[in-house]
A = this chain, B = another copy of it.
Amino acid sequence: MSEHSPLDLAEGDPFGPHNLPYGVFSTAEEPDRRRLGVRIGGYVLDAGAAAHALGSPYASLLAQPGLNPLLAAGRTAWRDVRRALTAWVTVPAHRADVEPLLHPLDAVTLHLPYEVADYVDFYASEHHATNVGRIFRPDGDALTPNWKHLPIGYHGRAGTVVVSGTDVVRPCGQRKAPTDPAPVFGPSVKLDIEAEVGFLVGTPSELGRPVPLADFREHVFGLTLLNDWSARDVQAWEYVPLGPFLGKSFQTSVSAWVTPLEALDAARTAPPARDLPLLPYLDDADEEEQGGFDLRISVEINGEVVAEPPFSSMYWTAAQQLAHMTVNGASLRTGDLYGSGTVSGPEVNQRGSLLELTWNGRDALELSGGKRTFLEDGDEVVLTAWAPGPDGTRVALGEVRGRIAPAVV
């Protein structure tokens, strides 16, 4: 046994054995061979090689270039694999087998760990929806009449979901201020972020069969941070009457790590009190059916924290979103990903978009590198988050990082 093992983590490491998120990596030696990895501390365990070395019955499921087969394997497999992984990184007798299969994080390339099937984005923060309503419809009600009756959502572009670290090329598009006689075309001048949490579906469902609230954990494997980059000027001109399209579809960034729901048992929390009675398929008064999570998100621009949105403040939960998304009989596929919607809390410094933080550009943020209303070329945005883990630990989510590259014109 080595004296300084990578498995000897610092006290309170938020990527300890209580976390164990999944990713996909390759090494400099074999750049074309993608492998399932599990993060432990500052290392990636080659999960397929470990399963092989230790004679796991899940060796073939883990010796894959992506996460989809494990996602499709279902909740019993998820639990058993996690149990095995926990043993491999904690039981001293396994160290000799496991240590050679650990790669330092800075020596690997991380890839999008799953193939996205359908991507849906929700709008579940009351604070966010209220802020947006006040900004865009100052003379009307902040919330539309349907808002507290159903979790509003729409489909986004699955093909442009990319892994953390991918540059964001500033999109071009049409924009038109209300006073302009005609739209103009060019690079977006209101490029924004949306700090969100994404939920990843493992177990599919049949066409015509709604998924009830209580079955959330049978279908959803885990979660990820998600930055729903938004071109506000493009969006404002295009979105009536059929919703956001090009203002969103250029890119959506997700963590390289998927945190299994099982790692977040200590973070389960009740959603805010409901102001209006809910239809039965959305009614989560039963505590067992509540899908809230206590995640503390942090938004950094160029290394400076600009907001700390609390996920526990979301009005609609991921379980309600799943129930709603399928109540019309729409089926789920392995790899379906759905975003929570921008996470904004009640306080000014808890808002998860620049639209809200600067009130659509009216109140610039004073950063050490200069004022910001919306993003400038070269800006780097990083989302991080942690949740309470067992026994006073913290569970960190994988970060989402993206730098703005100039428009291609």
Binding site for B on A (CB under 8 A): 117-119, 123, 144-146, 149-150, 152-160, 162, 169, 171-174, 176, 182-183, 185, 207-210, 231, 234, 237-247, 249-251, 276-277, 279-281, 324-325, 327-333, 336, 408
Given A185-B280, A408-B208; A244-B242 close (CB under 8 Å): yes
Task: Report the separation of the CA atoms of residues A248 and B209 in the bound assembly, to the nearest whole angstrom.
Answer: 16
Query: Given B145, B210, B247, B328, which contacts A249 in the complex, CB threshold below 8 Å?
Result: B328
- Are B182 and A149 in touch, CB under 8 angstroms? yes
Which of B156, B183, B240, B280 is close to A155, meaning CB atoms less than 8 Å apart? Answer: B156
Given contacts A150-B238, A152-B245, A246-B324, 10 further A-B contacts (CB under 8 A): A117-B158, A144-B241, A154-B245, A155-B157, A159-B333, A174-B279, A182-B276, A234-B328, A239-B243, A249-B325
A150-B174, A174-B150 given; A118·B158 CB < 8 A = yes
- Chain B residues with CB under 8 Å of A156's CB are 155
In the assembled complex, 13 residue pairs joining A and B whose CB atoms fall closer than 8 Å, in A order, are A146-B183, A154-B154, A154-B242, A155-B157, A160-B330, A162-B207, A171-B329, A172-B210, A172-B328, A185-B280, A239-B242, A241-B243, A246-B325
- Majority SS at the chain A contact face: loop
Closest chain B residue, CB of each to CB of A121: B242
Q: Is the CB of B185 within 8 A of A152?
A: no
Cβ-defined contact, B149 with A327, below 8 A: no
Does A328 contact B231, Cβ atoms closer than 8 Å? Answer: yes
Interface centre among A157, A247, A328, by most chain B C-beta atoms within 10 angstroms, is A328
How many angstroms from the CA of A130 to the CA of B332 in the assembled complex?
A: 34
Q: In the complex where A159-B336, A328-B171 touch, is A241 in contact with B239 (Cβ < 8 A)? A: yes
How far is it, in angstroms, between the C-alpha of A182 and the C-alpha of B93 when the chains are bound?
A: 62
